[in-house]
Structure 1
Amino acid sequence: MNTFTTLKMMPSIAQKVFSTEQVKATEPVAAQIAGISLYELMERAGLGVFDELQLHFPQARRLLVLVGHGNNGGDGFVLARLARQAGIEVTLVEIGEQAKFSEDTRAACQRWLDNGGQNHRWPHPLHGYDLVVDAMLGTGIQGEVRSPYREVIDKLQEVESAILSIDVPSGLNADTGSPGGTAVQATRTVTLVAIKPGLVTGRGRQYTGKLSLARLGIGATFDKLAAPFASLIRLEDLPPLPPRPANSHKGMFGRLLCIGGNQGMPGSMRLCAEAALRTGAGLVKVLCHPQSQNVVVQGCPELMLADPEENPQQLFDWASCFAIGPGLGQDPWAQEWLNALLSYQQQHHKPMVLDADALNLVAASKNKKLPGNTVLTPHPAEAGRLLGLSAAEIEQDRYKALDRMVQLYSASLILKGAGSLVSANQERYVICDGNPGMASPGTGDLLTGVIAGLLAQGMDTGHAVLRAACLHGAAGDMAAEDGGERGMIASDLLPFIRRLVNH
């Protein structure tokens, strides 16, 4: 029985993500429709960033503004003028070349000068300010950062001041979140018109700091003109799960078979299986190495143990879905069970989650064809093995890696990490829930269990991986709020997982 038939599955998306090409092409059109000149848009950008400055850095009385020669620098000239008019002491340093100013940037510079501002040239001291405003490169960087911007960015790493970046931290690729050799480490970034993909996942999240969005009065028009590259999603954006029927019994909520927990690795499977129970799966059976059985069920008598000598066909027929990988290992025992399951699934196509060593074994196999209703849950190193790349290459462009894995394996997929990426129902999502405290052993095993627990109850693979990723991250946030990020362990999330599936 599908207990989610009455659930409206499409999320109410709070924010969308757009590529730099989309912004470059659509922003002028949106401004024209709104009756706003591009110079007026620059004025609005400077004002929007200044409003954020006053909100988040109200004590800043000595301001250093670093401007480049592009439109990002023009935004900086506007902000500098507004800050000076508000009584803030402003020092403005030009890094770019005035000969390369656009007409709008030149106009913004002239208004700054006409209002009593003064331009200094690099090199100039960067220390001794309450706040540094980075208006150097914005989205204008694609390759390596060149001189003199590289020297400025490297020197900024030595200052103690907070740094506010306009649109994108200088040096950061706005689409991938990968630095061009170096990038500004911002305290806060105010991005303009639309959120760019590189700001919200992987290393880009670290460089971006806290993220604000200033839509400049053209956001609604912009959204009508451009299809999103991806969508930001939080658990709160998803509809709540429906109440269970009054005549419920455990058989209505699925039969999950978890395979893993090889010799010496029982903990991974225990975490996975218990997470599935806490998510609401009806019956959870564990197939693990005989030497792992006692540890897997100790303290959780609700878990069932499969007889490893039982006929695989009978075991697989019992289950309505599968989770394989946590603690599986890569020895003949592991390979035999994975091969048996994949062979069975070629005919039956039951929902299935592959994680950890199941992914590594699939990566080593020449056969990349997986059955339908499959979910893959790699972290960057596992994703690298699936694609024949290094983890560093995966992190260079996480969106590209996600798309390549989906194309190669035809599965729903989550690429784990800061700002985990989900491909579900032919859409990309960036998970906003979660925190650095979840970078601890076993949290990925929990995620596998949560996904499988939702699949067991009848949720389709795309929506299960999306909801599970949000739920898992939100549970981690609640655990961090309860006891802090440092020292958090995977099992700390279990009571919050249960709480969240009920609200």
Structure 2
Amino acid sequence: MIYVGTKEQFYGLEQIIMDNYKFSSLNLIAKAATSLLPFLSSKPRKYLIFVGWGNNGAQGLALAQLIVKKNLGNNVKVVFCAPKLDFVARQTAANKHLTNLIIQQQKIDICYLDNSEYHEWLIECEEIIDCIFGLSFEGDMPENSQELITDINKSSKPILACDIPSGIVNDKENIPTVAIKATRTVTFFIYKTAFINYQIIPFLGKVYLTSLDFDQEKINEFCSEIIDNKIFVVNDVKIEPRPLVTNKGNYGKIMLFGSNNDYLNAGTIAANMAIQAGAGHLTWVIPQELRNYLVNTVLEMTYCDASDRSKILDLLEKVINVVIFGPGTGRTERTLNLLKLVLDNYEGRIVIDADGINVLTPELLRKLKNRAIITPHPQEFARLINKRLEIVLSERVALAKELANKYKIIVILKGYQTIITDGDLTYINSTGNPYMATPGMGDALTGLIASLCGQGYSNLMASYLGVYLHGFCGDLVAQTKKPVLATDVVNKIGNVIAQIINSSY
């Protein structure tokens, strides 16, 4: 898990690290520059590094020297991003020290912003490194800096941003003027609060996190002293191996309410995923008239006639410990009545998706206390809380936490960086890709989460673990196939679970 923090929290963390490891600011800058090297191109390139007068700029200056020293670039140029007199007057001590070293070595071409030479360099370079403002930026951006960032973005060259793209104010929802639109961002120690903001995310490119070769567990220990927002990025998971002496009854007895005439295979996808992910037993409740169409779609499960109310209630009372409700049931009166029946006659855990969410009322939500997981996409969530979609997208974390806390449920607000929260702890998923935006993908996720619940994970852990694994499968598939289908993810889950278990033990 990775902490998510504000600018001040990050600076506090830096100070704790320097105090504990007896590092100076210059030492930390050198480590930051070294940590950027693995994210450069594997082949020597013509690098153009834009540096500001602060310590973010100092990291860029240290990086320029390392590129030359290690022969990683066949041409390295540095642009000091202000007129010379202004730049010199505002330099930090570390920045000034590293500037003097570069000038003395005479191996790197430099220019200031009052020299138009950088326009030609922009055309000639093969990659740009942004070390202009970093996390320290706030207030009004000088007009010449705005023009510079606009020119950089127009260059269409690959851009690596150091810590955070310049122009982004970490603790604000919007970009005040302009910002670097990076191809990739290498950030240090923690995710910044801006990185979970949908309005900021398009400027980040792919985000990589580096702990500068410090132990990440130790970094997290330091974070716990100063970051109290209880928001974490899920960047890794573990799965416990099964004991040698066991049986399928230990891994969940699931009942699925899913599919209708219009969405026949929504339930098929959820059921197959639950089984493939390790569920011990699954009973699918479907109308008799659909059974002939669906009977061979999931070979490892049993069926229950939807009209056999007494059998359904008996199973719910005596056997079932996890319910999946909603995939493909339709937004109908029948779905509403069926959900009422389940909630009134079953006290166990339930995962509600799709049309199960669409028929939820405040009265039904109150019946979900301490046992339910709901998995809305943003539009479903907007309907559920009666807010406009744009409000949901701009306040995702706060609104998801509010609903989860109000009804004491787990809310999984799907999308890029899916949010998982119980109203107290919040997890931001780091896996998944846009090629997973295909039919049935939510059904697969629902089946996976229910399967994990049945295998003994808590509702919250099953939720963030399931979301992570779901996205991880999609990322693996996307390496060789695009788009990614729900069935691709279902077919991949067993391999992914084996990979994680085998790598952990």
**TM-score (ref. length: structure 2):** 0.81
Identify which of 39, 50, 56 aligns with 1:72.
Answer: 56
Identify which of 14, 17, 24 aligns with 1:27.
Answer: 14
- Say if 1:44 and 1:474 are closer, same or farther in 2 by CA, change over 3 A: closer
Check conservation: 1:368, 1:408, Cα contact below 8 A. no
Q: 3-state DSSP class of the match of 1:46?
A: helix
Check conservation: 1:194, 1:219, Cα contact below 8 A. no
- The residue number in structure 1 matching 2:238 is 238
- Cα distance, 1:68 vs. partner? 3.2
- Say if 1:279 and 1:155 are closer, same or farther in 2 by CA, change over 3 A: same
Q: Deviations over 1:71-106 (max 9, x none)?
A: 322322333454456673314141585354444444
Q: Which moved more, 1:140-149 or 1:222-231?
A: 140-149
Matching of residue 131 in structure 1 with residue 127 in structure 2 = yes
- Correspondence list, 1:134-213, <5 A: 134-141=130-137, 147-172=143-168, 174=170, 183-199=179-195, 204=201, 207-209=204-206, 211-213=208-210
- The residue number in structure 1 matching 2:482 is 486
Q: 3-state DSSP class of the match of 1:56?
A: coil
Distance 1:198 1:409 in 2: 28
**TM-score (ref. length: structure 1):** 0.81
Check conservation: 1:419, 1:431, Cα contact below 8 A. yes
Matching of residue 119 in structure 1 with residue 111 in structure 2 = yes
- Cα distance, 1:271 vs. partner? 0.7
Q: Which moved more, 1:335-344 or 1:421-430?
A: 421-430
Check conservation: 2:352, 2:375, Cα contact below 8 A. yes
Matching of residue 498 in structure 1 with residue 494 in structure 2 = yes
Q: 3-state DSSP class of the match of 2:154?
A: coil
Check conservation: 1:132, 1:163, Cα contact below 8 A. yes
Check conservation: 1:192, 1:216, Cα contact below 8 A. no
- Correspondence list, 1:314-329, <5 A: 314=314, 316-317=316-317, 318-329=319-330
- Say if 1:141 and 1:325 are closer, same or farther in 2 by CA, change over 3 A: farther
Q: Deviations over 1:30-61 (max 9, x none)?
A: 21333223244334433443x346x535421x
Q: 3-state DSSP class of the match of 1:191?
A: strand
- Cα distance, 1:193 vs. partner? 3.8
Amino acid at match of 1:78: A
Distance 2:374 2:142 in 1: 39
Distance 2:129 2:274 in 1: 47
- Cα distance, 1:135 vs. partner? 1.2
Distance 1:218 1:25 in 2: 18
Q: Which moved more, 1:491-500 or 1:296-305?
A: 296-305
- The residue number in structure 2 matching 1:354 is 352
- The residue number in structure 2 matching 1:407 is 405
Q: What is the Cα-based RMSD across aligned positions, in Å?
A: 3.6
- Cα distance, 1:372 vs. partner? 1.4
Q: Equivalent pairs: percent with the same residue?
A: 23
- Say if 1:22 and 1:119 are closer, same or farther in 2 by CA, change over 3 A: same
- Say if 1:269 and 1:25 are closer, same or farther in 2 by CA, change over 3 A: same
- Correspondence list, 1:25-424, <5 A: 25-49=12-36, 51-52=37-38, 55-60=40-45, 62-83=46-67, 88-95=75-82, 98=87, 99-116=89-106, 118-121=110-113, 124-125=118-119, 126-141=122-137, 147-172=143-168, 174=170, 183-199=179-195, 204=201, 207-209=204-206, 211-215=208-212, 222-227=219-224, 230-233=231-234, 237-243=237-243, 245=245, 248=247, 250-288=248-286, 292-311=290-309, 313-314=313-314, 316-317=316-317, 318-345=319-346, 348=347, 350-362=348-360, 365=362, 368-369=365-366, 370-396=368-394, 398-423=396-421
Distance 2:289 2:406 in 1: 36
Q: 3-state DSSP class of the match of 2:359?
A: helix
Distance 2:259 2:238 in 1: 33
- Say if 1:281 and 1:80 are closer, same or farther in 2 by CA, change over 3 A: closer
Q: 3-state DSSP class of the match of 1:469?
A: helix
Q: Which has the higher contact order (CA 8 A, sep 6+)?
A: 1
Distance 2:142 2:387 in 1: 28
Check conservation: 1:256, 1:283, Cα contact below 8 A. yes
5+ long unaligned stretches in structure 2: none
Distance 2:113 2:17 in 1: 35
5+ long unaligned stretches in structure 1: 1-12
- Say if 1:354 and 1:178 are closer, same or farther in 2 by CA, change over 3 A: farther
Distance 1:295 1:172 in 2: 54
Q: Which moved more, 1:128-137 or 1:208-217?
A: 208-217
